[in-house]
Amino acid sequence: MREAVFYGAGFPYAPVKELPGRLIVLEGTDGVGRSTQIQMLGEWIQAEGFGVLDTELAGSGLTKPGLDKAKAGNTLGRLTMSLFYATDFADRLENQIIPALKGGFHVLSDRYFYSIIARNVVRGADPVWSRKMYGFALKPDIIFYLKANVETLMTRVVGRGFDYWESGMDIGLADNRYDSFCIYQSRLIEQFDQMADEFGFITIDANRSEQEVFADIKKHVQSMTDGD
Amino acid sequence: MLRTSDYKGKLIIVEGIDGSGKSTQIALLYKWLRSLGKSVYFSEWNSSKLVKSTTRLGKKGRILTPTTFSLIHATDFADRWENHIHPLLKAGAIMLVDRYAFTAFARDVSRGVDPQWVRNLYSFAPQPDIAFYFRVPLDTSVERILSSRAKIKYYESGKDLGLSDDKVVSFRLFQQRISDEYENMVSEFGFTVIDGSLPIHAQQQQVRNIAQELIREWQGLPALHANSIPSGTAGGEQP
């Protein structure tokens, strides 16, 4: 058993004490290979005999329809977007992540609130405001930051095309998606780099092959769960 | 106090528990300012079209926790702030706002969220030029609500807190908590307190006198000629 620790006040009306499961977070920019790694990690953890729950950003039943609709329009302001994503995050934390951890599952989170902060701040939000908003967030057991340079991201993104939001087209950084993608992703990387020390990320060089990256991640998870 | 601001426009807000009469008062204030030829607009709590379907989903399914309840209302407010209230204040209009950040501070803290956490959520909102707080005895407001409304809704009654199985008892207990929170904020945020048990007309006279002081010798955005004002435009409708 381990004690639940929060970044701020947590959920004062519903105190959480002990959580037998482990919260494992994979962070990093678009096209860094997070979903592939999550999938491999999930397979491996289950093979080891542990239950696994996957969760990802903007996946909550409460906010998904509304957020998808809002993103399709042109009126979603940066403050509104920040708070909408926080709503999604809180809903998943209280209704999926914490219950699963209580039940002894390992939770694999594809991104956590760090990505949301990075996106908010790149769009001009106050970094302190954005951080304090997540005072209810549970501290993960381990946070991997998959770091790759923009050239590597490009090779992965080019096949599926340049998404409007992944290119940060809403900010008006450039008049085309390619240039905008490069600028936007570089700025996100800067934000992640700044957060690495602050939040204790384990930085993994994601310019390498999937297998090499996975071997690294596996090694860290193994040493964490050795005591279980 | 919230952050200070220096907009060309003026921001006047009303607060109070359910049944305190604040919406009646702000509607009358609106009529008066219009009759003076001012450029005046109105925004109401929980009315963002962008967020509406999500709030409805959460309330209908009763899946909102105190934290998500708080966040979704902050999202609603942020949308109205960014797309409506803020640009109009910059343009020099008078914005009348029915419920402001203080509603969240009172309600969400009554539901058990951390007071500092919810204050941070709304820290982008400026301190209003006037924050009217309508103070009424609990018996008066509960009586007004019970006699005028067919049904008190689940979250409105604070049923999610499990204070009582009886909806009316729960509503009363919840309103008491909210009222206590408001009272604690009177000095923290410099509320202008109006006695909500006075006759409507007497309250309105006080409200207008105070508003008059604010706009004395103030040059805001000139209003459109009265008969060219479109009615029922998005977000700009009458209270």
Q: Mind listing the pLDDT tens digit for each residue in A162-202?
A: 999 999 999 999 999 999 999 999 999 999 999 999 999 99
Domains (range + CATH), chain A? 23-160+188-219 (3.40.50.300)
ipTM value for the complex: 0.93
Report how far residue B134's alpha carbon sits from residue B182's, in angstroms, rounded to the nearest whole number.
Answer: 10
Note the pTM of the prediction, 2 decimals.
0.93
Residues 90-129 of B with CB under 8 A from A: 111-114, 116-117, 120-121, 123-124
Q: Is residue B233 part of a domain?
A: no
Q: Is residue B127 part of a domain?
A: yes
Q: Which residues in A lie closer than 8 A to residue B65 (C-beta atoms)? A: 11, 14, 90-91, 94-95
Q: Which residues in B lie closer than 8 A to residue A12 (C-beta atoms)? A: 112-114
Residue A35, both tokens: 């979903």
Of A75, A79, A96, A92, nearest in space to A133 by CA: A79
Contacts 24+ apart (CB under 8 A), A10-16: A10/A135, A10/A136, A10/A138, A11/A94, A11/A136, A11/B65, A11/B66, A11/B67, A12/B112, A12/B113, A12/B114, A13/B66, A13/B111, A13/B112, A13/B113, A14/A94, A14/B65, A14/B112, A16/A98, A16/A102, A16/A138
Q: Is residue B136 part of a domain?
A: yes
Q: Which residues in A lie closer than 8 A to residue B72 (C-beta atoms)? A: 87
The domain that contains B182 carries what CATH number?
A: 3.40.50.300
How big is the A-B interface in CB pairs under 8 Å?
Answer: 103
Q: Determine contact: B222 vs chain A, CB below 8 A.
A: no
Q: Is residue B15 part of a domain?
A: yes
In the predicted structure, residue B228 carries a pLDDT above the cut 80 = no
Contact A147, A203 (CB under 8 A): yes
Q: Which residues in A lie closer than 8 A to residue B122 (C-beta atoms)? A: none
Per-residue confidence at B238, pLDDT binned at 50, 70, 90?
A: low
pLDDT at residue B236, rounded to an integer: 46
Q: Determine contact: B3 vs chain A, CB below 8 A.
A: no
Per-residue confidence at A38, pLDDT binned at 50, 70, 90?
A: very high
Angle (CA) B64-B68-B74 rounded to 5° is 125
Q: Is residue B234 part of a domain?
A: no
Q: What is the pLDDT of residues B151-180, one digit of tens each?
A: 889 999 999 999 999 999 999 999 999 999
What is the extent of the structural domain holding B196? 10-218
Residue B119, both tokens: 């204050």
Give the least confident one: B91-100, B121-130, B228-237. B228-237
- How many domains does one find in chain B? 1
Q: Determine contact: A82 vs chain B, CB below 8 A.
A: yes
Give the least confident one: A60-69, B67-76, B129-138. A60-69
Residue B217, both tokens: 């010798």
